[in-house]
Structure 1
Amino acid sequence: MTSHLFAVAAATEDDLLAAIRGHADRIRGGRNLPPLDRYCHDAATGTAGLPHRATLVADSYDSLAAGLAELTAAGADRPAAQPLRRGSGPVFVFAGQGAQWDGMGLELLATEPVFRAALMRCEERVRTLAGFSVTEQLRADPATSRLGEIDVLQPTMVSLQVALVALWRSWHVEPAAVVGHSMGEISAGYAAGALTLDDALLIACRRSSLLRRITGRGALATTELSPEAAHALADASGGRICVAGENSPRSTVLAGDTGSLTALIEDLDRRDVYCRMVRGTVASHSHYVDELRDDLAAALRPLRPVASRVPVYSTVTGAPVPGTALGPAYWMRNLREPVRFAATVTRLAEDGHDVFVEISTHPVLISSLRQTLESAGRTAELLPSGRRRAERRAVLSSLGTLYACGHDVHWPALAPPAPGLTAYQDAVLDAVRLPRPAPARAGSR
C-alpha cells in the first residue's frame, strides 16, 4: 500500500482538536469518501501560516482513523509544535557509504515523478562516465548486482542523493546549510550550488574508479573510542594505523594495514571496547590513497566550482568553506584526511542550526548526530529521508515533522499523481538543471 501524508492545522489548539475530531467523524461515517491521496491533499490545502499543526502518515483509511483517534486521545497533553528557530530551513546531512540496501530507491522511483526524473538524468550521465545503468543496478537481483563494487556503489549513492534533493525541493524544503560525510560531500557540494550535476557525477565516477586500485589493501574498523583515544592509538602505531573518521564523541573509524587493525581489534575486545572491521570497502582516509593523488588531480581538472548558494560546512576543515574551494585538490583532501564529522556538527549547532535532515536511503548518521549534539548540550530535530523497506513512509513522516515545526509545505507537489510531470514539477527540474523526460513515442508502452 502507498503511504500518504495527512496534515491539519488551525489558529488555536482547541480549533485543531475540533478539526481532528471532524475528520475522524467523517471517516467513521465512511460515505462519499474520495481516494485517500485526494482526501489527504484536500485536508492539507490552505493550512499555510496556521500555527497549531498535526500530521500523520497513513496508507489506508483504517490507519488514518487509528492515527486520528490517537491524536484526539492525546488532546491537550500533546506538546505544542515548536517553530524552526532558524526559519530558513534545515541542514541537509549527506551520508557516505553504509546506507545502501537491496531494493533501495525502488519505491520512490515508482511513486515520485520528480525523484524518478532526477535519477534518470543522473543515470544518463553515469552511463556516459562509467558505463553502467544506475536503475539496472538498483533493480538487479542481489546475486548479480554490482553494488558491491566501489566504482558502481559510489556513483549510485550520489545519484540517489541528488534525486532526494530534487524531491525535497519539490516540496519547498531547501537547506539552510549542507554537510557531507566523506563521499557525501560530493552531493553536499551539488545541493549547495557549488558543483553542477556534471561536476558531482564526474567526481563520484572518476574517483571511485581510481579507488579500485587499492581494493583489498588495508582495511577500516569502526570503534567506540573517543577521537582523542583513537588518535593516541594511531600515534602509537608507528604509522600503521590512522584515524579515518571522527563521527561522534564516542565513535571513530580507524584505517590501516589489515594485520595491525586485526591485532588492535583483539586488544580492544579484551578491554571490552567495541571495535569491528568494516566489510566491503577500501582503506580511504589512509596512506593507501596517496598513490592516487596525481591521477585524481588529472581526472578532476575539468571541475569549475562556483560560489555556493548556502553555506557548505566542510568535514575536512570542520568549518564553512567557500564553494569555490571545492576544486580537484579539495577532493584529494576529502579522500585522504580524517572525516571531522563531530567537530563540524558541533560548529553547525554553535551557529544556531537545530534541524537536520539526513539525505540517504537509510539513516546511518542520526545516531552520531544525536551523540554529538547531546555531548554539546544541544537539542535538535533529527530526520531521515529514507528507511529500509519504508522509503515513502519515512520521507513523508519527516516532511510532516518539518510542517509541524512551522515549515510550510508546497502541497500541490503532493497532489494525486497525473500522467507525466505537472507544470510545477517541470519547473523544479528546470531549477536544478534537470531536463524533463522525453515524451513516450506513439505506440510505446
Structure 2
Amino acid sequence: MTVQLFAVAAETEDGLLAAIRGHAARIRSGRDLPSLARYCHDAAAGTTGLAHRAAVAAESYDDLAQGLDKLVQRWADRASAPPLSRQPGLVFVFAGQGAQWDGMGLELLATEPVFRAALRRCDERVRELAGFSVIQQLRAGPAVSRLGEIDVLQPTMVSLQIALVALWRSWHVEPDAVTGHSMGEISAGYAAGALTLDDALMIACRRSALLRRIAGRGALATTELSPEAAHALAASSGGRICVAGENSPRSTVLAGDTDMLTAVVEDLDRRGVYCRMVRGTVASHSHYVDELRDGLATALRSLSPVPSRVPLYSTVTAAPVPGTELGPAYWMRNLREPVRFAAATGRLAEDGHEIFVEVSTHPVLLSSLRQTLESAGRPGEVLPSGRRRTERRAMLSSLGTLFTYGRDPHWPTSAPPAPVLTPYQAAVLEAVRCPRPSPVAAGSG
C-alpha cells in the first residue's frame, strides 16, 4: 500500500489533543471511512496558520491509529514539541558518496510523478554526456549494475538529488540556504540556482570520468579524531596523508597513500580510536587528484554559473559563496581541498538556520550535523529525504515534521495511475527543464 501523510492542527494544544483523539476514535469505529488518501487530504484542509500541529506517516488505517496513539502518549508524557514563534531557517544539505544502496529511487519512481519526470530529464542529459542510462542502472540487479564505477555512481547520485529537490519543491518546501558535502556541492549549486541542470550534470559526468584515472591509487579512512588532531597527524606524515573531510568536532576523513594510511588506522585502533578504511572509492581531496587539474579545467571550460537565488554555503570556504564563483577552478578546489562540513554547518547555525534536511537516498550526514549543533549548543532538527527500503515513508515523515515547525506544504496524495500534475508541480518541472535560471543577486530570497 502507498504511504500517506496525515496532518492535523488546532489553535490550542488542548484543541489539537482533542482532534487527535477524535480521529483515533473515528478510525477505530471503522464507520464511513473513505480511502486513506482522501481521509488524509480532508484532515489537512484548513490547517494553514494554526500554531499547534501534528503529523503521522501511515500506509493503512491500522498504522495511522497506532501513530495517533503514540501522539496521545507523547502529550501525556509532556514530550510534545512547543509551538514556534517563527519559521526556523531551513537548509537543504546534499550528501556526497556513501548514501547509495541497491534499489534506491525505485519506490519514488513508481509513486511520485514529479520525481519520475525530473529523473527522466536527468537521464536524457546523462545519456548525452556519459553514454549510460541512470534509470536503467537503478533498475539493474547488483550482478549487472555499474554503480560500483565512480563515473556511473556520481552522475546517478546527483541525478537522484536533483529529482528529490523537484519533489520537495512540488510540495512547496523551499530551502532558505543550501550546502553540500564534496560531490554534493554540485547538487547544491543547482538547487541554489547558480548552475543549470545541464551544467550540474556536466560537472558530475566529466569530473567523475577524470577520477577513473586515479582509481585504485591511494585510500580514504574515516576516524573519530577531531579536526585539530587529524591535521596534526597529517602534518607528521611528510605529505603522504592529508585531511579529506572535517565532518564534525569528532569525525574526520583522512586520505593519502594506502600503506601509510593502513598503518595509521592500525595505530589508532590500538589506541582505542574508532577508524576504518573506506572501500570502493578513490582518494579524493588528496595529492592524487593534483594530476587532474589541467584536464578538469579543459573539461569544464564551457561552464557558466550565474548569481544564486538561494544562499549557498560552501564547504570549501565554510562561508557563503556567490554562485558566479562556481567555475572550473572552484570544482578543482572542491575535489582537492578538505571538506569543511563542520565549519559550514556551524556558520549556518550561527546565521539562524535550525532545520537541516539531508538530500540523499539514505542519511549519511545526520549524525555529523547533530554532533556539530550539540557541540556549539545550537538548537536544531535534522531530517532525512529518504531511507533504505522506506523512501516515501521517510520523506513524508520529514514533511510532517516540517509541518509541525510551521511550514505549510502542498499536501501530497497517492500517485495517480498516470502523471497528473497540479499547476505548481508543472511549474517545478518546467524549472528543471529551464536552460538557464534568471539572474538574481546572491543571498536574496
| Superposed pair shares fold, TM > 0.5 | yes
Tell me the equivalent position of 1:414. 413
Conserved? CA contact 1:248–1:372, under 8 Å: yes
Tell me the equivalent position of 1:172. 172
Distance 1:137 1:208, change over 3 A: same
Q: 1:80 Cα deviation (Å)?
A: 4.0
1:217-264 deviations in Å (ceiling 9; x for gaps): 111111111111111111110011111111111111111111111111
Output the TM-score relative to the length of structure 2: 0.95
Distance 1:416 1:362, change over 3 A: closer
Supply the AA of the counterpart residue of 1:209. A
Tell me the equivalent position of 2:286. 286
Tell me the equivalent position of 2:48. 48
Conserved? CA contact 1:86–1:352, under 8 Å: no
Supply the AA of the counterpart residue of 1:342. A
Q: 1:11 Cα deviation (Å)?
A: 1.2
How far apart, in 1, do the equivalents of 2:195 and 2:246 lie? 25
State the secondary structure of the residue aligned to 2:353: coil
Tell me the equivalent position of 2:249. 249
State the secondary structure of the residue aligned to 2:347: helix
Supply the AA of the counterpart residue of 1:199. D
Distance 1:304 1:84, change over 3 A: farther
Supply the AA of the counterpart residue of 1:46. G
Percent identity of equivalent pairs? 79
1:322-344 deviations in Å (ceiling 9; x for gaps): 00000000000000000000111
How far apart, in 2, do the equivalents of 1:339 and 1:147 lie? 23
Tell me the equivalent position of 2:336. 336
The answer to whether structure 1 residue 215 and structure 2 residue 215 are counterparts is yes
1:265-414 pair list within 5 angstroms: 265-411=265-411, 413-414=412-413
- For these two proteins, the number of residue pairs brought into alignment is 433
How far apart, in 1, do the equivalents of 2:308 and 2:48 lie? 29
After superposition, the CA RMSD in angstroms is 1.4
Q: 1:418 Cα deviation (Å)?
A: 5.7
How far apart, in 1, do the equivalents of 2:106 and 2:326 lie? 31
Tell me the equivalent position of 2:441. none
State the secondary structure of the residue aligned to 1:24: helix
How far apart, in 1, do the equivalents of 2:255 and 2:417 lie? 50
Conserved? CA contact 2:182–2:335, under 8 Å: yes
1:183-228 deviations in Å (ceiling 9; x for gaps): 0000000000000000000000000000000000111111111111
How far apart, in 1, do the equivalents of 2:56 and 2:80 lie? 15
Q: Any gaps of 5 or more consecutive residues in structure 2?
A: 436-445
How far apart, in 2, do the equivalents of 1:143 and 1:33 lie? 45
How far apart, in 1, do the equivalents of 2:16 and 2:187 lie? 39
1:275-326 deviations in Å (ceiling 9; x for gaps): 2110000001011011111110011011110000111100000111100000
How far apart, in 1, do the equivalents of 2:167 and 2:287 lie? 38
Tell me the equivalent position of 1:79. 80
How far apart, in 2, do the equivalents of 1:180 and 1:74 lie? 34
Shift >3 Å, 4+ stretches: 73-76, 84-87, 413-416
Supply the AA of the counterpart residue of 2:184. G
Tell me the equivalent position of 2:184. 184
State the secondary structure of the residue aligned to 1:2: coil
How far apart, in 1, do the equivalents of 2:354 and 2:291 lie? 40
How far apart, in 2, do the equivalents of 1:160 and 1:84 lie? 34
Output the TM-score relative to the length of structure 1: 0.95
Tell me the equivalent position of 2:66. 66
Q: Any gaps of 5 or more consecutive residues in structure 1?
A: 436-445
Supply the AA of the counterpart residue of 1:254. L
- 269-278 or 129-138: bigger deviation: 269-278
Tell me the equivalent position of 1:112. 112
1:365-406 deviations in Å (ceiling 9; x for gaps): 011111111111112010000101111110000000000111
